[in-house]
Structure 1
């Protein structure tokens, strides 16, 4: 079981859910850099990329960069912000190699990497790229075994392991800049994800309807109790989908335009929008801050990760978000 580092890992994070900024290929990574740097200036403590090969919102052939290559690039143009994925698909990489990858990112960034990890879910990517998808149970068994290997390697051990899915023999992980590189799990599964978080993680990012949070946090406390862990040693953040603008009408239009553009079929827009309603926070900076305070932080979540897919790439928006939400999470 992990030991907590004693510091807040994520209080205000910014997630780039995809790379569909309307930029040409030569301008694409500069747009990613601009957002990471804006988030850093605005007081965000972590920037997250998603670990996908296909675009999830909208046509799968939309622009998608490999996460760890991109994070390595961001490490060279930022100074203080943590770098992670929300989250790495465990099934896409051998766990020993993943430990080496995230440790190398930590060395490049001088101690700013965090490993975000999940079981993997996007079947199309697995099929297209030739990765075994397997059953839901298979993927969580793989994640359990992977965490056993990865956490040992991150802490300076040389694990040997002969499991159902993975095998390593005296796996060396050098160089390392530290022995407490944090591990974050992402998800909302009360039985499997929360149980693994209680055993292995320093941080848990929960993505769910805001109304589900009290039940989710109660379940997490039970999973911690089952392994003898103090729930207060496991930081928890909530993933929120945010559209913010000084003009509330513009914020709402940005969300409407995003759904229309990504879904495509007008007959499906309302249905997709309704499926996301419980995770959406829209309006002026004061509006969004109030919504997040009342609907999320009031339940005892320690941090926020915001996804601003509708307009986060637009100049000035991240500065608004950082100013409005930073005060909430640092009280």
Structure 2
């Protein structure tokens, strides 16, 4: 597994109608593949997130979407950023992502996190619980999922989940990768050190030196070489062919509430964005970057521009 450059599709609101929505998703996934991105991601949400839009804006179910994208692409890896553990039984999730792996010819990655969007839990009737309970559940889930992805038949009798010699066939490999997503320096990073192949760090860019230090500490606690745990950063990119056009794009599409997270935003023409990603992210020891381009990622030529801009920065670390 290598994800040095990923593309996340967090919004479907640009489509003029539901019938035009999924063709646009296919076009973006194919454009990302052609542009040299390693992976394409969708969010595992049922409502649009605060800061990106109203809850009523379009949102596709993640694994149905990824299964369809598997038949429309050839090389790019497919994943969620990230699956909410609270939404699915863990054995069923292992089966689901393994089926995606079979359908895609070995291109699935299990992205997973503890879950956090309370409004969805209330709306759909999922138990939300406390912060501590959600991480208890994620820990138990990973103790079931990881063995199932490796061809084992785990039995579990935990506080939250139970299995008995759970089967997971067919599989086409025994090393389907797990990616954790989040910024929690104790719980999330600790679980990543124990279970994950990749950690997508979600935080302000200025926090990355501390995050890397914390991750190394969690790896040391379980006697793991941190070099064996790949890392990436989630970046909100506003890129156009020149700096002035990118600034206008940013000003037209970013609300005051979103500007509160400006330390996660990267704005400019190709030279400016490349410099920002290198200095603010990669120079801190992060292996790669996953970008979303809410404002214009669906427009023709933009993902090619993004690939040409960012691929050279991460090619040497692949």
Q: TM-score, normalised by structure 2?
A: 0.97
Q: Which residue of 1 aligns with 2:259?
A: 274
Shift of 1:255: 2.1
Aligned counterparts of 1:186 and 1:199: Cα–Cα separation in 2: 14
Whole-Å separation in 1 of the counterparts to 2:226 and 2:173: 25
Structure 2 distance, partners of 1:34, 1:273, is 27
Q: CA deviation at 1:253?
A: 2.1
1:258: how far off?
2.0
Q: Provide the secondary structure at the position in 2 that maps to 1:330.
A: helix
2:172 is matched with 177
1:318 aligns with 2:303: yes
1:302 to 287, 298, 312: 287
Correspondences of 1:210-289 after superposition (within 5 Å): 210-259=205-254, 269-270=255-256, 272-289=257-274
Identify the residue that residue 265 of structure 1 maps to in structure 2. Answer: none
Give yes or no for the alignment of 1:146 onto 2:141: yes
Of 98-107 and 301-310, deviating more is: 301-310
Cα deviation, 1:125-176, whole Å, max 9, x if unaligned, reads 0000000000000000000000000001000000000000000011000000
Q: Deviations over 1:266-320 (max 9, x none)?
A: xxx43x1332110000010111001000111001101110111111111111000
Answer yes or no: is the 8 Å Cα contact 2:86–2:114 preserved in 1: yes
**Structure 2 residue ranges without an equivalent (≥5):** none
Of 273-282 and 220-229, the range deviating more from structure 2: 273-282
Distance 1:64 1:236 in 2: 27
Q: Distance in 2 between matches of 1:274 and 1:70?
A: 30
Match of 1:69 in 2: 64
Distance in 2, Cα, partners of 1:257 & 1:140: 38
> Paired residue for 1:40, among 25, 33, 37?
33
Task: Measure the CA separation in 1 of the matches of 2:187 and 2:218.
Answer: 9
Is there any run of 5+ residues in structure 1 with no aligned partner, and where?
A: 1-7, 260-268
C-alpha separation in 2, matches of 1:273 and 1:248: 20
Measured in 1, the distance between the counterparts of 2:106 and 2:15 equals 32
Equivalent residues, number: 314
Q: Is the 8 A contact 2:242 2:270 kept in 1?
A: no
d(CA) in 2 for partners of 1:52 and 1:14? 17
Which whole-Å CA distance do the structure 1 matches of 2:201 and 2:14 have between them?
A: 26
